[in-house]
Amino acid sequence: MDDGVKSGQHAVRTSNLGLILRAVRRRAPCSRAEVAAATGLTKSTVSSLVGELIDRGLLREAGAAAGERRVGRPGVMLEVDDRSIAAIGLEVNVDYLTIVAVDLVERELFSRHADFDARAAGPGASVHRMAALLAEALADPLLAERTVLGVGIAVPGLVDAATGTVTHAPNLRWHDVALRGPVAAALARQGLGAVPVAVDNDAGLGAVAEHRGGHLAGTPDLVYVTGEVGIGAGVLVGGVPLRGARGYGGEIGHMPVDRGGPRCGCGRRGCLEARAGIAAILRGTVPDLLPDGPLAGAAIARAVRATAERAASGDARARGALAEAGEWLGRAAAVLANLLDPSAIVLGGYFVPLAPWLLPACEAAVAAHTIAPPRGGALVHASTLGLRAAARGGAASLVDALDRGRLPLPPRRRPAPRG
Ligand SMILES: [Zn+2]
Predicted confidence (pLDDT) per residue in 260-296, tens digit: 899 998 999 999 999 999 999 999 999 999 988 788 8
Q: Rounded to the nearest whole angstrom, what is the distance from the C-alpha of residue 13 to the centroid of ligand 1?
A: 46
For the structural domain made of 3-80, what CATH number should be given? 1.10.10.10
Q: Rounded to the nearest whole angstrom, what is the distance from the C-alpha of residue 271 to the centroid of ligand 1?
A: 5
Q: Rounded to the nearest whole angstrom, what is the distance from the C-alpha of residue 140 to the centroid of ligand 1?
A: 40
Predicted confidence (pLDDT) per residue in 326-384, tens digit: 999 999 999 999 999 999 999 999 999 999 999 999 999 999 999 998 887 889 999 99
Q: Rounded to the nearest whole angstrom, what is the distance from the C-alpha of residue 81 to the centroid of ligand 1?
A: 44
Q: Which CATH number fits domain 85-204+392-403: 3.30.1150.10, 3.30.930.20, 1.10.3720.10, 3.30.420.40?
A: 3.30.420.40
What residues sit around ligand 1, an ion, with C-beta below 5 angstroms?
A: 254, 264, 266, 268, 271
Domains 85-204+392-403 and 215-384 share a fold: yes
Q: Rounded to the nearest whole angstrom, what is the distance from the C-alpha of residue 226 to the centroid of ligand 1?
A: 14
Q: Which residues of the chain have pLDDT under 70?
A: 1-2, 63-74, 414-419
Q: Give me the pLDDT at residue 415, please.
A: 60
Q: Rounded to the nearest whole angstrom, what is the distance from the C-alpha of residue 170 to the centroid of ligand 1?
A: 8
> What is the 3-state secondary structure of the chain?
CCHHHHHHHHHHHHHHHHHHHHHHHHHCCECHHHHHHHHCCCHHHHHHHHHHHHHCCCEEECCCCCCCCCCCCCCCCEEECCCCEEEEEEEECCCEEEEEEECCCCCEEEEEEEECCHHHHHHHHHHHHHHHHHHHHHHCHHHHCCEEEEEEEEECCEEECCCCEEEEECCCCEEEEECHHHHHHHHHHCCCCCCCEEEEEHHHHHHHHHHHHCCCCCCCCEEEECCCCCCCEEEEECCEECCCCCCCCCCHHHCECCCCCCECCCCCECECHHHHCHHHHHHHHCHHHCCCCCCCCHHHHHHHHHHHHHHHCCCHHHHHHHHHHHHHHHHHHHHHHHHHCCCEEEECCCHHHHHHHHHHHHHHHHHHHCCCCCCCCCCEEECCCHHHHHHHHHHHHHHHHHHCCCCCCCCCCCCCCCC
Domain coordinates in residue numbering, the chain: 3-80, 85-204+392-403, 215-384
Q: Rounded to the nearest whole angstrom, what is the distance from the C-alpha of residue 47 to the centroid of ligand 1?
A: 54
Q: Give me the pLDDT at residue 344, please.
A: 96
Q: Rounded to the nearest whole angstrom, what is the distance from the C-alpha of residue 270 to the centroid of ligand 1?
A: 7
Q: Rounded to the nearest whole angstrom, what is the distance from the C-alpha of residue 147 to the centroid of ligand 1?
A: 41
Q: Rounded to the nearest whole angstrom, what is the distance from the C-alpha of residue 291 to the centroid of ligand 1?
A: 22
Q: Rounded to the nearest whole angstrom, what is the distance from the C-alpha of residue 382 to the centroid of ligand 1?
A: 23
Q: Rounded to the nearest whole angstrom, what is the distance from the C-alpha of residue 93 to the centroid of ligand 1?
A: 17
Q: Give me the pLDDT at residue 217, please.
A: 93
What is the topology classification, in CATH, of domain 215-384? Nucleotidyltransferase; domain 5 (3.30.420)
Q: Give me the pLDDT at residue 419, please.
A: 40
Q: Rounded to the nearest whole angstrom, what is the distance from the C-alpha of residue 249 to the centroid of ligand 1?
A: 14
Q: Give me the pLDDT at residue 5, please.
A: 76
